[in-house]
A and B are shown apart, each in its own frame.
Chain A
Amino acid sequence: MILIIDTTGNEDMINEIESGLNGRNDYEIIRAKDMKIGHCIGCNYCWLKDPGICSVKDDHETILKKMILSDQIWLVSGTTLGFITPLAKNIIDRIIPLATMNLKFKGKQMRHELRYKSYQFGLIYDGEADKAFMEHWSDRVAINFGSRTKGAFKREEIKEAVSCMC
């Protein structure tokens, strides 16, 4: 299952992605732009008080539940100060219930043990940013999901991104 989280509300972009995926039934698109999504408050409850559950009660829970059921997560974002938008970053900051407090080494680096399983990760962005940095960051996010990145793609590269959704 491929989960596409759109934070832009740009229906043209979503249409482009959907037409690339034409006829497939193994994907779902979440329109997050107008959802009520706050930021991580760093309470650590999702690790140490109520494992796996975010204490901030809003629409993010729907996203989290769908992430758990997916194999591949794609984030679609605009850009802010050369990075993804605050909304998109808040959604990613709040993935930490998908990991546990317990530590391990993955290769040469420390990581948290995953609560469920691993997920592949990809990024599609629309706006000014350094592509090499966006790719680097996507790869780091993917490492937290127990995988490697599918890549970071500019809006003009949507076709290429969709061809990686396999």
Chain B
Amino acid sequence: MHVLIINGSPRVQKYSNTDKIISALKEGMEQYDPGITTELYSISDRKQWDDAREAFVRNDEILIALPLFVECIPGLLLEFLSTLPPKDGHTRMSFVLQSGFAEASQLRCGEKYLKTLPGRLGCIYKGTLIKGDNFSIRLVPDDMKKKITAPYVQMGKVYAEHKGFDCEEARKFAGPEYFNAPMRLILRSIFATFGRIMFRKTARSWGCDKPLNYRPYPASR
């Protein structure tokens, strides 16, 4: 099997969380079947668009991995997709939708859209792997990156076995729709204390000298 993988993130490949997730998925695919080959294009680099478009025409096993951007697909990925010529209904298309917020419910609106997308491109929908809580991948050292993305290795195997994510194992990967009340209480207090301190610390290391809730523009006329 040969899989065309498209990274739909507008963030440059080096810093893209999606890119690290794709690496783990590929590792899983190769573990399942060493004969599997892949090719990867990143939408953040417009110079790759022509090749990616040509690959879309040529391949019948397509996996689009993308970050949730304001509740749906990023504007830049939408622009790329709008330049694709429709196919003839023999191509399988699956998605990996990953996000910052942790609960599965946060990704459902985006998933709803992705279900309709392959049909509009003349492809067959083969499921969406959903997972939140990925914001920090870009902020942590390489060994931590590996740890956070490790669960995706198994999902790479699942993809290779099912030629998509249309199966129970992939559905379960999404985790809880909402955190239960006791968990929310714990998280709330972490956000208000440790969370704030950590974000502040990161900001300082990025050269930020303002409070994170700073208002650069007038809030009234």
Contacts and interface: CB of A to CB of B under 8 A. Distances in A.
Interface of A: 39-45, 47-53, 64-65, 68-69, 80-83, 85-93, 95-96, 100-105, 108-111, 113, 115-117, 130, 133, 136-137, 140-141, 144
A4 to B, nearest CB: 18
A87 B188 CA distance: 36
25 contacts: A39-B10, A40-B74, A42-B9, A42-B67, A43-B11, A44-B138, A48-B206, A49-B203, A50-B208, A51-B214, A68-B217, A69-B221, A81-B82, A82-B117, A83-B78, A85-B78, A86-B76, A86-B79, A86-B82, A96-B70, A101-B199, A102-B191, A102-B213, A103-B191, A117-B219
A100 B217 contact: no
B122 to A, nearest CB: 12
A42 B113 contact: no
B171 interface: no
B76 A39 contact: yes
A52 B215 contact: yes
Contacts of B120: 81-82
B75 A86 contact: yes
A-B pairs, top 7 by smallest CB distance, nearest first, are A42-B11, A89-B75, A90-B75, A86-B79, A140-B71, A51-B214, A39-B76
Given A51-B211, A82-B116, A113-B213, A39 B74 contact: yes
B107 to A, nearest CB: 10
Contacts of B79: 39, 86
B101 to A, nearest CB: 5
A45 to B, nearest CB: 8
Nearest to B205: A48
A144 B70 contact: yes
Contact of B78 (A49, A89, A102): A89
B12 interface: yes
Given A69-B220, A101-B199, A136-B109, A81 B117 contact: yes
B216 interface: yes
Given A51-B213, A108-B179, A111-B101, 11 more contacts: A42-B9, A48-B212, A51-B212, A69-B218, A86-B78, A89-B74, A95-B70, A102-B196, A109-B106, A115-B214, A137-B109
A101 B191 CA distance: 10
A109 B191 contact: no
A109 B101 CA distance: 9
Given A42-B15, A108-B184, A115 B213 contact: yes
A135 to B, nearest CB: 11
A109 B113 contact: no
B203 A48 contact: yes
A113 B191 CA distance: 11
B117 A109 contact: no
Nearest to A132: B112
A110 B195 CA distance: 13
A19 to B, nearest CB: 26
A54 to B, nearest CB: 10
